[in-house]
Amino acid sequence: MRLIILFNYLPFILILLLMRILTLGSETLREKSAPVKNIDGETNKLLTGMFEILDKHGGVGLAAIQVGLPLRLFITKIGNDTQRVFINPSIIETSEELTGYEEGCLSLPGIWGNIMRPKMIRVQAWNEKGKPFTMDADGILARVIQHEYDHLGGALFIDKLSEGKREQLLKKYEKLKKSKK
Ligand code: NI
């Protein structure tokens, strides 16, 4: 059964136990997320759970779809930066200047690819209190926001690579997966 359905019925502690990071091959990861209708106590429970999972895996960003909930929200926590929440976000401006960086993803453990992205962005979203905000981001934060934003449309960083590079990485990924079994 889909986690999103269970979410309405189960106590939060069980939801946390059921929350898993979906990895490549999961069809859910390729779904388009739907807008969050109400930012309420349930949303905050979900966010708490997501921050716990992010911390446990040592990641810098996580979208709700990665834990099986196709909702337009994601979180970031980069090093000493504060915990950030982006609900129903829109990237409204991007710089012409692009930069490259070796990007990874908790849904594709063990592989990284050099991805070009706009260096600076302006994003509009709602926070966990339901308050709208607009912010400018640069550097690693801009990158993580764009990466997580892509998840809301069902996109993964490997989609941005050339076919040759993607196949090479996917081969490595499959090999790693087999070696872990
Ligand atoms: Ni990711």
In the structure, ligand 1 is a single-atom ion and the residues with CB under 5 Å from it are: 105
Residue 103 is among the residues annotated as catalytic for this protein: no
Nearest to 108 by CA among 17, 177, 61, 49: 177
**Share of residues in the chain with pLDDT > 90 (%):** 81
The rounded Å distance from CA 42 to ligand 1 centre is 23
DSSP state of 128: T
Domains of the chain, residue spans: 2-180
90 near 124, Cβ under 8 Å? yes
The rounded Å distance from CA 107 to ligand 1 centre is 6
> Which CATH architecture is the domain 2-180 placed in?
Alpha-Beta Complex (3.90)
pTM, whole model, 2 decimals? 0.92
C-alpha distances in Å from residue 156, one per residue of 12, 23, 24, 104, 120: 28, 11, 9, 10, 20
The rounded Å distance from CA 132 to ligand 1 centre is 24
Report d(CA 90, CA 136) in Å as an integer. 12
* Residue in 31, 96, 128, 148 annotated catalytic: 148
What would the pLDDT profile of 118-177 be if each residue is shown by its tens digit?
Answer: 999 999 999 999 999 999 999 999 999 999 999 999 999 999 999 999 999 999 999 998
